[in-house]
Amino acid sequence: MATQNLLAKLTDFLLADASAQRKEIESISKVLKKLKQKEKELTRQMAESGDESERQNLQAQLEVIAVQRRKGRERVREIRDHKN
């Protein structure tokens, strides 16, 4: 009986871990989607902008978003690789 209880607890733990990982991936995916939209908007603004200082500011924002997106994609990859 004790072995069955331990196995049941282990199964619950493993399922909870997979569920938490799935939720984290979904959350990161939503953020990545928003960042991509923001990136497109900033690119559009940069194309329309005539002011050089404003373009530099937009470029700096684009670089930050690119780094955030890269880190998000890396985290999703880590989670998926860890599952396998």
pTM for the model: 0.76
Q: What is the pLDDT of residues 27-81, one digit of tens each?
A: 999 999 999 999 999 999 999 988 999 999 999 999 999 999 999 999 999 988 8
Q: What is the pLDDT of residues 9-37, one digit of tens each?
A: 777 777 777 888 889 999 999 999 999 99
The answer for residues whose C-beta is within 8 angstroms of residue 28's C-beta and 6 or more apart is 72, 75, 76
Q: Where are the domains of the chain?
A: 23-83
**Per-residue pLDDT band at 83 (split at 50, 70, 90):** low
What's the full length of the chain, in residues?
84
Beta carbons of 42 and 58 less than 8 angstroms apart: yes
What span, in angstroms and rounded, lies between the C-alpha atoms of 77 and 21? 11
pLDDT of residue 66: 97
Buried b (16+ CB within 10 A) or exposed e, 12-42: eeeeeeeeeeeeeeeebeeebeebeeebeeb
